[in-house]
Amino acid sequence: MNRFEELLKSLSAQPSVIVHLGAGDCTEHEFYNSIHPDHIFYVEPDQLLAEAAADAFSDAPHVRIIPCAIATTDGPQTLNVTNNRRFSSLLLPAELLDFYPNITVDNTTGVEAVTLNRFCRNQAVDRNADNLLVAEIQGMEKEVFPSTEVTTLQKFKWIIVRTSEEKLYAAATEGVQQSLSDTLQEAGFMVFSFAEEAPPYVNIVGIRNDSVIESSELKAINSDLLDTVKVLEFNLSKKDTALGTLKISSAAEQANSQVVLATRAAELEAAQVQIKSIADEIEKQQQNNQEITRILNDKTAELDASEALVKSTRAENEDLNRQLDTATKTIQAKSTDLDVSEALVKSIKADNKDLKRQLDTATSTIEAKSADLDENEALVKSIEAENKDLKRQLDTATSTIEEKSVELNAAQFRIQSLSDKNSHQEQQVSALTASLQAKAQEISGIQQTLRINNKLILKSDTDLRELQTQYRTALQHQEHQHILLSELKDKLRQASLYYQKLNLQSPLIDADLIAQDEPGEKDDSGER
Amino acid sequence: MLKKRVPTDTSQSPVYAGISTLAEEICEQQFSQADALSWQTFIPASGYKLQATQLLSSLENEALFAWGNDHSCLYLDFWNAINPDVRFLLFYCSPEYELSGYISSHPFDMSRVEQVLAAWITRTRAMLAFFMCNRDCSLLLNVQSAASAPDAFVQSLEHHFQIDFGCEPATADARPTRFALIEYLATTLLLKNKLVAELYDEVRSAATQIDAQDRSMAGIEERSKALINAFLAEVTASTQRLDAESRLEQELASSQLQINQMADELEYYFKNSIEQEKIANTLVEYLSDNPSLKIARQVRQAE
């Protein structure tokens, strides 16, 4: 029995992806599920076991069953299927039979094999996550791991391999075999070995040492950089020499071009002076034109304004005359009203003073109240904000409560249905056990009656035998009696003959004899 | 060279009782607080080693001594360390056999069933581990095969341990009879237990073979099918037995009738014979008393 569960528990491994090569019946599934990985890949070459696993995990979306073998090369291979299917391998069993003598290769079947490199590429297993690789590949581990790329191995944080120091399986390719520990150590893993409860298997555990890997990567990058620096230095020296020659040739060219450049510059300057003078003249003319148009505009505006002024002053004079007449009339009316209103104004002023006082007090109270109001408003706002938050929290809480209650209802329903099912099953089981017990009792009753019957038969047999012997003896007696009777019959016949003879010879004797016999004759005849 | 050893009943020996008491003490010390079903391997306290050594050293002159205990498989290394001459006979059984044994004698309880299976796993693992490490001095055998093929079992013992028992094995099956139906029911409880299946397969792959049934590596479904077939066979056999019984009853009734008839006939003949005997006697008496016959007799004698 392997020690994967024990080892993984001691490592406290929480992998995102679990890859189990040679999963068999997926005995470890319950434990793998308990550590909640995102994905589980079960690789199993045995078609029968793979199909059984696919059926079992059809409702688990995070579990994938991959029916293939892991080998050193891609392509079809032959799987040796043993009577204990957990020992089936691409290799033939060798010393395995010393430990498990009852293992036999029942048949061979064709399977598709992939390399570990290709498998990881196909299933998008990358180094960004903490991945776990468990390998139970029945002897192939000694060939597969040395031939796997280091970068592929480094995609897994933990590697557990079930292997043996013994040559359990015949090697396919002798040259490739290498110690697993060395391979994993070279790939930057810390390696530990744990023997199982009983030989021949050991569990090799590799834990990725990221610092070692990073330092080796840095070393590689450093050496790359040094190489590029050397190349660059070489290129630089080359370019320096090219630059020297270029400098010499360019100095001569520069001198020639400077002369040409100077003449060109003089010509350019002369042309620029001419262009500048033309531009100045154009500018002066434009300025003059602008001044003339501005003066013209001003004069026309002044003319328009004076004409409008004349017209408006005339209309104003007429209006003013009309207003003067009405004003003199109203002034007369108003002078009388003014006296009344002056009295009114005086009383109103007094009222106003009172009102002003009241207003002052009111404004002071209003100010105080407004300050309070402001404070209250601020409080109300904060309370409102709090209320809003609380409302939001309440909403979320009610929604979660609703969700939870729905879940709870569903769970309760499920529990009830399960308990119903359970009780039903229990009832069935109890009914079955009761029927079983009844049957057992029936059978024991039958056995007892059988036993009694057997005894009765034996007794009757003995009785029969006794009766038969009695019958036989009775028959013998009867035969004996028959014989005696027949003998007696003969003798009686002889006696009667003799008696007749005697009667004929001397009838007197007979009469005398009869006379002598007379007293007992009656009794004898009666008896006869 | 085989050592000729005649087996005797060692269970009456005081050493046997001593070892049993020691084993009980060791187990009591280990499982004093635990449930009877909670099995686990352990190393006994060092104090027991001396007692065990003394007990085993008293057996030096014994030709053959056998001792058995079901809990001893939990600390086999202890016995192995005490005396290297000790040989171990380890009996494993199928999980359905174990479970059916429990189910048939206890009320059904799923949690207890799990405990029974856990105990089976512990015991079987312990025996397998010990056997794999100590193949020279141990035999791992299927208890059902050993019981069904005692000759092969004894041969295997003789061959492996170089012992000549020199006698025929007892043929009586001391094991309790199990009904195939209960074992079948037990297999239904094991269908999804992959751990049990894996361990049972491993044990069968490694164990010592006795007969053909050990060579079979049938899975739980196949075993389940075989058991239901066995149950059906049992049913047919019991029906046949019942038929035979009824036939015998009929025969018995008819033979009883015949016997009665014969008895009547015999009685009739017997009465007849008595009558005839009486007649013959009277005739003999008459003839012996008849005077003429007397004279005839005298005449004959005179002649």
For residue B235, the model assigns a pLDDT of 83
* pLDDT tens-place string over residues A376-434: 778 878 877 887 887 888 788 778 778 877 887 887 787 788 878 888 888 888 888 78
Inter-chain touch B242–A498, beta carbons under 8 Å: no
Q: Chain A residues with CB inside 8 Å of B282's CB?
A: 527-528
* Residue A18: strand pairing partners: A40, A132
Using a CB-CB distance cutoff of 8 angstroms, which residues of chain B are in contact with residue A430? 108
Number of Cβ within a 10 Å radius of residue B200: 25
Nearest CA in chain B to A516: B291
Which pLDDT score, from 0 to 100, does residue A41 have? Answer: 94
At B61 the pLDDT is 75
Chain A residues 470-489 with a CB less than 8 Å from chain B:
470-471, 474, 477-478, 481, 484-485, 488
- Residue A113, pLDDT score: 94
| pLDDT-based confidence at residue A215 (cuts at 50, 70, 90) | confident
- Sorted by sequence, the CB contacts under 8 Å of residue A278 that are 6+ apart come out as none
Q: Which residues contact B283 (CB under 8 A, 6 or more apart)?
A: A488, A492
Predicted confidence (pLDDT) at residue A511 exceeds the cutoff of 90: no
- When CB atoms are compared, the residue of B125, B242, B266 closest to A474 is B266
What was the ipTM of the complex prediction?
A: 0.71
Mean predicted lDDT score pLDDT of chain A: 82
| DSSP state for residue B32 in the 8-state scheme | S
**A457 CB within 8 Å of a chain B CB:** yes
Is the link from the previous residue into A200 a cis peptide, with omega within 30 of 0?
yes
Mutate to test the interface with B, among A197, A454, A517 (most CBs of B within 10 A): A197
pLDDT score, position B11: 67
Residue A483 pLDDT exceeds 50: yes
Asked whether B23 and B75 are in contact (CB, 8 A), the reply is: no
Q: How far apart are the C-alpha atoms of A384 and A373, rounded to whole Å?
A: 15
Task: Dig out the tokens for A523 from the structure.
Answer: 């009794």
| Band of pLDDT at residue A137, cut at 50, 70 and 90 | very high
Q: Compute the distance between CA of residue A183 and CA of residue A189 in angstroms, rounded to an integer.
A: 9
The pLDDT score that the predictor gives to residue B170 is 61
- A488 contacts B283 by C-beta, under 8 angstroms: yes
Subunit contact B291:A198, Cβ cutoff 8 A: no
Residue B225 banded pLDDT, cuts 50, 70, 90 = confident
- CB contacts, 8 Å: B262 with chain A: 467, 471
Q: How far apart are CA B283 and CA B285, in angstroms?
A: 5
pLDDT-based confidence at residue A512 (cuts at 50, 70, 90): low
In Å, how far is A498's CA from the nearest CA of chain B? 8
Quick one: residue B44, left, alpha or beta (phi over 0 = left, psi -120 to 50 = alpha)?
beta
Query: Any idea which of A55-64, A455-464, B26-35, B46-55 has the lowest mean pLDDT?
Result: B26-35
Q: Residue A281 pLDDT > 80, yes or no? A: no
Q: What integer is the mean pLDDT of A137-163? A: 91
Q: Average of pLDDT values for A256-272?
A: 80
Q: What is the distance between the alpha carbons of residues B270 and B282, in angstroms, rounded to a whole number?
A: 18
Query: Residue A189: phi, psi to the nearest 5?
Result: -110, 145
Tell me: pLDDT of A159 over 90.
yes
- DSSP assignment of A112-158: EEE-HHHHHHHTT--TTS-EEEEE--TTTHHHHHHHS-HHHHTT-SE
Q: Do A84 and B179 touch (CB under 8 A)?
A: no
Rounded CA gap, A280 and A61, in Å?
87
User: Residue range A491-516: average pLDDT?
Assistant: 70
β-strand A105-114 against A75-82: which pairing, if any?
Answer: antiparallel
Q: Can you give the pTM of this predicted structure? A: 0.55
3-class SS of residue B4 = strand
pLDDT band at A525; cut points 50, 70, 90: very low
Name the average pLDDT for chain B: 81
Tokens 């890997």 correspond to A213
Long-range contacts: A51-59, Cβ < 8 Å, 24+?
A52/A25, A53/A23, A53/A25, A53/A26, A56/A26, A57/A26, A57/A29
CB distance A53 to A31 below 8 Å: no
* Cα A68 off chain centre by: 21
Q: How far is CA A211 from CA A129, A219, A407, in A?
A: 16, 12, 46
Torsion region of A504: left, alpha or beta (phi above 0 gives left; psi -120 to 50 gives alpha): alpha
Six-digit token string for A258: 């400077």
Give pLDDT, residue B37. Answer: 54
For residue A63, the surrounding DSSP H or E stretch is strand A63-66
DSSP string, A225-236: HHHHHHHHHHHH
pLDDT 10s digits, B177-194: 567 777 887 787 787 788
Mean pLDDT of A91-116: 92
Antiparallel, parallel or unpaired: β A39-43 and A17-21: parallel
Strand (E) or helix (H) holding A106: strand A105-114
Return the pLDDT at A507: 57
Span B25-71, pLDDT tens digits = 887 777 665 555 566 777 787 788 888 888 888 887 777 888 888 88
**Contacts (Cβ under 8 Å, ≥6 apart) of B87:** B137, B138, B139, B161
| Element of type H or E holding A444 | helix A210-505
- Nearest C-alpha neighbor of A86 from the set B267, B27, B200: B200
Quick one: which of A72, A70, A97 has its CA closest to A83? A97
Q: Give how far the C-alpha of residue A184 lies from the chain's centroid of Cα atoms, to the nearest Å.
A: 29
Q: Which of A4-13, A90-99, A516-525, B170-179 has the largest mean confidence?
A: A90-99
Min Cα separation B12/chain A (Å)? 33
- Percent of chain A having pLDDT more than 70? 93
